[in-house]
Each structure stands twice: as structure tokens, then as C-alpha cells.
């Protein structure tokens, strides 16, 4: 499908989704959010896709929700319309791994979108921030919740209350991003990570995603039980037999997602 605000390419089992509103630093408007939810759902349903990479431009992953569009909305518009909730729910329903490849500004809703991905690879030019306070609002799609769980209360309060930006080095130190790479190498590194994931059993990758995400949503005891049962369940797959057999036979595994 052709999108107005995205460029989607599928290459070697990886769907690369690029946010493409260069004139507005990829600000998230209604059209972009609807298209993004659709593109992710399509990738999730496409058997050829085993991993997704979400990126923006060199200057901006996304500079937040579209302020021009939001400035026209009333309380009733955002409350009754539940601004961006259906789109983010569709995004979060994706069971395949999603890597955010972030360069430049990653602010407000843009930072929250990156946080909805499974992990973030940042260019050394990346700048993260939750500057909603400057607009008289708070974050609305997870910034006060996901960011706090990841970087802790003190840093999250600092980011949300001062609206300051965090550079890539601080983001890595805080656990917000998994790795920082030179800007020129960002896409190469992100696509290589996605290719590595694409070589695994898709069943196991799906299970990993469910298990790790569960750790944010439940108690340690319940999470451990969930993980243990998932571990047991994997023994019902052919890919478990193949993975262990291949190790014993000193060869590469041939996973078949069965």
C-alpha cells in the first residue's frame, strides 16, 4: 500500500518503516498515526516479515505529536476521540520485534513511540526529550509511565519537569537505548540487528517479546511463572528440537517456525 507519510520497504525478511513528514520533523499527526498503525499491522500479518525497523530522518526520528493539529482540539475532541489510543493499541498488538533506529530529535510523542518499540538503537546525534510541559500538557502516549520504568523516577521527573533534552550518551547510560552508533552507521547497524533477529525462530522471538514485556506489567512472581511456562512451552516446538540438535551436531540451526 502507498502511504503519504511513510516509506515502507521489505528487504530480506525485514520491514523498514520510515516516518516521512520532513517539513514537520516527522511530527505525528492523525494521518501519520493511522498509516503507521496500518503499516505495522500489515508487517505483523506478512509471513515474509520477521522483524521491523522503525526510523525517521537524519534530523528527526519524530519531534512529537503535531502541535499545529493539536492546537485546534478541545477537551471533548481529545477525550471523546481518545487521541492516538486506537493507533497505539494497534501498534502494540504487533507480535514481531520492532527496533527503533533513532537519529536527531526524538521528542514528546516521538520519544514515546520509540519507547513502544522493543529496543532503541541511537545515532550519536540523537536527542531525547519530553518537552510537553512547555506546551501546558503532560505526555499522553506513555511517556510518564514507560520512561519512568526504564530510566527511573529521578531522571524521568527531570526530563518531564524541565523539558530538557538528553543526548545519546546519557540515554545509553540511563538504559533508554541499547546501543549508540555513529550517525552514518545507524541504518547499517539497525538492519544488521534486524537480520540477526530474522535468522532466529520467529516463534521464539515472539515468546521473548511477550516475556520481556510481561516484566513491565506484572509482579516478579507472576512474571517468573509466565517465563517458566513459556520456556516449558517451547519444548513443544520443532524449532527447540532443531536448535538443540544443531548445537550438539556442531552446525547452524535451520529454524522453520514450527
Interface residues with ligand HXC (CB under 6 A) are: 24-25, 27, 63-68, 83-84, 105, 107-109, 131-132, 134-135, 139-141
- Sheet arrangement for strand 14-19: 6-11, 14-19, 51-55, 98-102, 119-123, 179-181
Q: Is the dihedral of CA 257, 193, 94, 206 positive or negative?
A: positive
Instruction: Tell me if 137 sits within 8 A of 78, measured CB to CB.
Output: no
DSSP per-residue codes, 59-118: SEEE-SB-HHHHTT--HHHHHHTTTTHHHHHHHHT--S-EEEEE-SEEETHHHHHHHHSS
- In this complex, which beta carbon is closest to ligand HXC, that of residue 83 or of residue 122? 83
For ligand HXC, which is the closer residue by CB, 16 or 70? 70
Which residues are annotated as catalytic?
65, 109, 112, 132
Q: Shortest approach of ligand HXC to residue 125 CB, angstroms?
A: 12
Nearer to ligand HXC, 133 or 246 (CB): 133
Amino acid at each position: 500500500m502507498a502511504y503519504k507519510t511513510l516509506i515502507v520497504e521489505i528487504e530480506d525478511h525485514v520491514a523498514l518503516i520510515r516516518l516521512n513528514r520532513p517539513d514537520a520533523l516527522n511530527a505525528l499527526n492523525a494521518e501519520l498515526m493511522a498509516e503507521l498503525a496500518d503499516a505495522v499491522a500489515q508487517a505483523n500479518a506478512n509471513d515474509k516479515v520477521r522483524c521491523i525497523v522503525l526510523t525517521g530522518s537524519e534530523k528527526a526520528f519524530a519531534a512529537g505529536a503535531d502541535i499545529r493539529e493539536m492546537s485546534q482540539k478541545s477537551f471533548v475532541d481529545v477525550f471523546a476521540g481518545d487521541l492516538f489510543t486506537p493507533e497505539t493499541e494497534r501498534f502494540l498488538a504487533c507480535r514481531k520485534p520492532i527496533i527503533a533506529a533513532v537519529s536527531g530529535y526524538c521528542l514528546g510523542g516521538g520519544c514515546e513511540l520509540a519507547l513502544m518499540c522493543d529496543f532503541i538503537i541511537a545515532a550519536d546525534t540523537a536527542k531525547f526529550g519530553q518537552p510537553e510541559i512547555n506546551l501546558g500538557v503532560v505526555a499522553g502516549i506513555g511517556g510518564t509511565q514507560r520512561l519512568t520504568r526504564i530510566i527511573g523516577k529521578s531522571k524521568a521527573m527531570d526530563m518531564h519537569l524541565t523539558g530538557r533534552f538528553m543526548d545519546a550518551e546519557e540515554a545509553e547510560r540511563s538504559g533508554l537505548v541499547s546501543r549508540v552508533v555513529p550517525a552514518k552507521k545507524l541504518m547499517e547497524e539497525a538492519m544488521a540487528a534486524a537480520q540477526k533477529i530474522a535468522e532466529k525462530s520467529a516463534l521464539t522471538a515472539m515468546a521473548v517479546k511477550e516475556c520481556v514485556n510481561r516484566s513491565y506489567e506484572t509482579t516478579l512472581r507472576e512474571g517468573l511463572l509466565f517465563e517458566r511456562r513459556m520456556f516449558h512451552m517451547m519444548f513443544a516446538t520443532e524449532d527447540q528440537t532443531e536448535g538443540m540438535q544443531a548445537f550438539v551436531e556442531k552446525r547452524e540451526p535451520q529454524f522453520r517456525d514450527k
